[in-house]
Amino acid sequence: HDKGNTLKVVLKLLDDAGYKVYHEVLNSLDFGVPQMRERIYFVGIKKELVDDDFSYEFPTRYSGSTQSLEECLIDSDEKLIFDENLPAYQTFLKYLDNKYNKGKYSIDELLSKEYRVLDTRQSDLRIYEEKTPTLRRGRHGILYVRDGQFRKLSGYEALLLQKFPKKYADSVRGKISNRKLLQQTVKINSNKRKKKTV
């Protein structure tokens, strides 16, 4: 952020407060979650509690259980099918024909691989295999292929993609609307959030 200046300010403030600080960008993909979600983590230790030669090493890999897309993309609600019967599908077809995507993809090609994930970004389509991008709100969002059909991501699936225990996801399913559940599990555009709070 701000060409690295924000990080410099944060590190200086923590140093001035008496902390020896270590930071690292970690990706959830490296820790058993089938979602690319890079975040910066800080570990701060009061300087008087450690020797000068103390060093902290961030983990680089997770040795526990990992989840596959097939284990997470399991919602069977037929309302999640994204096909020509929906008005938004026509918008999707126009999106595939915009200046960034024109001629790159056919519906048959996109539907040819199970659990292929499509990220309908502002301009260009991005395709992922065996992982999802960071979940976020906006446009059509995330679509995926299952049983030869496009499907919309459910809030239940979003919980599973973030490695919430299935027991927990099952317990909230049906108690909270899919829309509300998705809003709780995806990254919100900060500009939209600011506009709503002003």
Domain positions in the chain are 2-49, 69-197
Tokens linked to 40? 């910066």
* More confident: 118 or 181: 118
Determine the length of the chain: 198
Q: What pLDDT score does 53 carry?
A: 93
* More confident: 53 or 188: 53
Whether pLDDT at 192 is above 90: no
Q: What pLDDT score does 185 carry?
A: 66
Contact yes or no for 131/68 (Cβ under 8 A): no
- Segment 170-179, tens digit of pLDDT: 998 888 877 7
pLDDT, the chain, mean: 88
Q: What pLDDT score does 77 carry?
A: 92
> Can you tell me the mean pLDDT for 87-104?
93
- Segment 119-169, tens digit of pLDDT: 988 788 999 999 999 887 654 588 999 999 999 999 899 999 988 899 999
Going from the C-alpha of 107 to that of each of 10, 36, 103, 111, the distances in angstroms are 47, 25, 11, 6
Q: What pLDDT score does 189 carry?
A: 44
Contact yes or no for 158/181 (Cβ under 8 A): yes
Whether pLDDT at 193 is above 50: no
Tell me the C-alpha distance between 142 and 127, whole Å.
Answer: 10
Tokens linked to 107? 């519906």
Q: pTM of the full predicted structure? A: 0.79
Q: pLDDT band for position 80 (50/70/90)?
A: very high
